[in-house]
A and B are shown apart, each in its own frame.
Chain A
Amino acid sequence: MIVPVLALLALAFVAPGRKPPDVRRAVLFWSIGILAFLALRSVVPDEFLFGGSESVRRNRFQVRHLLSRKDWEKDPILILEGSSVIQYGVDGIALEKELSRLGCPATVLQFCAVGANHFERLHFLESFFASLTKSQQEKLKSARVILLSEVFDAYDENPLYLLERVADNERGIICLTPRNAWDGWRAWSVYAAEQTKLGRPAPRPVAEILIRHVLFNRFGLGAFSSMRWPDSRRKLPAFFAMEGSKPKFNYEEACAGYLTNPHGKGFSLPLPFPQWNVSFESMRRRLGSWVDEVGFFAFPTLEPHRLAYQVAFAQARPGSTKMAGPASPDEMSRLLDPAFWYDGTHVTGAGAKVADEWLAGEITKKWPCDTPPSHE
């Protein structure tokens, strides 16, 4: 708080000199000053600049969790990236215990947040890696790291899905680094072209939001708005247990909808989406060598169109990849309980327990624990 007050006092107690000030000289001075600021900004890590933000606190939790495990590099490291479905549906610590119980001990790290699109999650992942020390990074590279990406139609179809909702808030500013914004823009352009090809209304342009946020990001807008010195102890767990159900959600109706089409038939779009391919390629390129294998997972859902997408994606996914889910009707039968669903997509805390057991089983089936790291 004291810094802006001092800035105010400095402004109040400064006046032009004896000669009148010169606008050209001032513009030159300001340009150099801004360039110097931008140069300084580029070497200051987000961890310091946005120390109190949700994104950094989420990352901090994952770093602490990883480092709290003894000899963590010896067991596989499972990274789950996803949206609110995963934030409310996967309890990483419970999943670790379940994997251990199944004889496949692993460290589970989660990079997920409500409304986080693929590019925000990618920023999470990069920031996580950057916040490790050199030796920890080396250890991570030597471990078997499997990244599981959530399969969810809305985020896969629109690479910048819900961007407008996070726009102008801290999360939107932090994740839109110039590189992320550029990759996001490329994928979004493909999406916009696809929409036109399919005869759908053109999506709202995002260029202005992206440019604005890149500027905000570079100038560290709002970095210290909490008026507190960044506290490195503040962390935020990835998992939140939901309770009750969403207003207006009718479980009986949703369940009946699921039971009429439990195999998810009737999806005829070209998959995977071309725009998703662009996002996926960006992720593979940018994560580099520290991830051994990229796979997918589809979280149980009651919504037929989401299930249909999961089923279609499972058939059309890139050839060399593996995928956990979608849940079969038999597996889903354990989850058909009104107490387990917050709405047709998100589970409650009680539902998460059952879903995590299913997910652990799927993971051990698809990624047996005796496979050595590939370092592709």
Chain B
Amino acid sequence: MIFTTLAFLVFLLVLLPAYWALRDDRWRQWLLLAGNLFFYGWWDWRFTGLLLAVIVISWVSGLAVGRSGPGSRRGLVWMYGACTALLLVLGYFKYANFFLGSLQAAVERFGGEVSWTTLNIILPAGISFYIFQAISYIVSVYRAKVGSEPNIVRLGVYLSFFPHLVAGPIIHAGYFLPQLESKRRFDALLFFEGARKIVIGFLYKAVFADNLAPLVDSVFRAPAAQSNLSVFGGCLAFYGQIYFDFAGYSLMAIGVSNLFGYLLPDNFNHPYRAASVIDFWHRWHISLSTWLRDYVYIPLGGNRGSRLFQYRNVVVTMFLGGLWHGASWNFVLWGLIHAAALCVNHEWRAWREQRWTECPPAVAFCGRLGGIVLTQAIVFLCLIPFRATSFADTWAIICSLGSLIAGNPGTAVAFPWLLAALPLLADTWLVGQSRWRERFALRSNVALYAVLLLALLVGFLFMHVGSVPFIYFQF
């Protein structure tokens, strides 16, 4: 079920009043669990069994780790066992064909022949998200950050909570389980904040991202056939599309959770304002970068040790981060370029801190501006392998951009530059200014009701018709 469909609206309009009509939180959690399974089964009911299996594995191993004692050797065995089982499930559904195909290609390249073929596997929606959450729960129990959850319904609600089930944000067990333990009371402020986020997310996704999608598709379908300027336009459109698509989904997920009285962490914080690659990863897909930091980077050793050791950890983490996005070498390349940029950024930061303890405001301002331009140029370029379907296309696009910079725009074509740039500029430089929002916000309930309604109706009128799936569903 996609948030921007009528089916979801009906689902929400039935579930939400029923949820608040129940007085007892236990019944509410049962209702939520049923709703979560219905939501997931709407896409393909067969995979609700997989989701239930993940819940059961997590529940049993969480209890076993808890009983063995956090930090104990037996607990460690249970934790590794459960995480391995979960990763095997993920690996089978998501990576089996990728590795088989890559191996086949490698063998054939060296003149060999293989008898196997790739498997006919359907990738279950959101599998990466709920498996990562299950791992987060088991590891958190082992590290004694949360207690093992004796109530399988509660754990099931955490792992399968429908707003973030298929595309995140990835929530840490320590953030969400305590909310399930405390009594939910209707909070009008949270409810309206949720509604506001849903409408903003709707505009992001249905109006901005989906209207950019056809432009992006047409350029990336045959990049070699496009003029250099069109290729740049297509890349710029994708730079906007991926942000609005994913940030829109995350905002809607957070908003829907708020309607039910739950809080979810922010997943985006205006990443296109980032002045360094490190800063970018504190603003982009925050829940994934936090997860990778807590469950990959720090266990690998983090920044304890030599700088070379730290960079190795960064590269491994970003390699896995790239692979998490999809079973394709393009995503791996995307992750590795970001890793290289992060290492350079760390190196630069260390060098700068040693030499420039203080600098005049004008220099700091110029430095920040330069940092933003450079960071966004890197992010922009990294998105090319992320979207292109092959290395050949990636190379063709980079060559086109190179020619453009060299002053050859190619045949001029009409391109909706305003559509590609205006929402991004407005969102990054006006909506992203929290101080301005604090200072100039119109504080009125009637205005709030009116703006919510009008913005929704504007969204209807300007939305792209036809279904464009959320980009991050495939991950």
Contacts and interface: CB of A to CB of B under 8 A. Distances in A.
Given A30-B453, A212-B6, A220-B460, A14 B441 contact: yes
A53 to B, nearest CB: 10
Contacts of B459: 4, 7
Given A4-B208, A4-B459, A225 B465 contact: yes
A225 B464 contact: yes
Contacts of B208: 4
**Number of chain B interface residues as a range:** 35 or more
Given A2-B422, A17-B445, A11 B451 contact: yes
B448 A222 contact: no
B467 to A, nearest CB: 6
B470 to A, nearest CB: 16
Interface in B80-97: none
A33 B450 contact: yes
Q: Which of A3, A13, A33 has the most CB of B within 10 A?
A: A13
Contacts of A26: 192, 445, 449, 452
Given A9-B426, A10-B455, A173-B465, A15 B203 contact: no
Interface in A203-247: 212, 215-216, 219-225, 227
A30 B453 CA distance: 6
Nearest to A172: B465
A205 to B, nearest CB: 14
Nearest to A223: B461
A220 B444 CA distance: 29
Contact of A11 (B200, B462, B465): B200
B397 interface: no
Contacts of B461: 219-224
A25 B449 contact: yes
Contacts, number: 145
B453 A21 contact: no
Contact of A15 (B416, B448, B453, B465): B448
Given A9-B430, A13-B442, A168-B465, A22 B458 contact: no
A269 interface: no
A26 to B, nearest CB: 5
Nearest to A26: B449
A57 to B, nearest CB: 16
B68 to A, nearest CB: 47
Contact of B465 (A8, A21, A170): A170
A165 B446 CA distance: 42
Given A222-B465, A223-B461, A225-B211, A13 B437 contact: yes
Interface string B175-199: 0000000000000110110001001
B392 interface: no
Contacts of B440: 13
A7 B455 contact: yes
B445 A22 contact: yes
Contacts of A34: 453
Interface string A247-274: 0000000000000000000000000000
B423 interface: yes
A31 to B, nearest CB: 10
A9 B436 CA distance: 11
Contacts of A225: 211, 462-465
A12 B430 contact: yes
A8 B462 contact: no
Given A16-B445, A16-B448, A11 B188 contact: no
Contacts of A8: 200, 203, 423, 426-427, 431, 455
B462 A4 contact: yes
Interface string A1-45: 111110111111111111111110110011001100100000000
10 contacts: A1-B418, A4-B459, A8-B427, A9-B431, A11-B196, A14-B441, A15-B443, A26-B445, A169-B465, A222-B462
The 10 closest A-B pairs by CB, nearest first: A222-B465, A7-B455, A12-B431, A7-B458, A15-B441, A17-B445, A29-B449, A21-B445, A33-B453, A14-B451
Interface of B: 6, 188-189, 191-192, 196, 199-200, 203, 207-208, 211, 416, 418-419, 422-423, 426-427, 430-431, 436-437, 440-455, 457-467
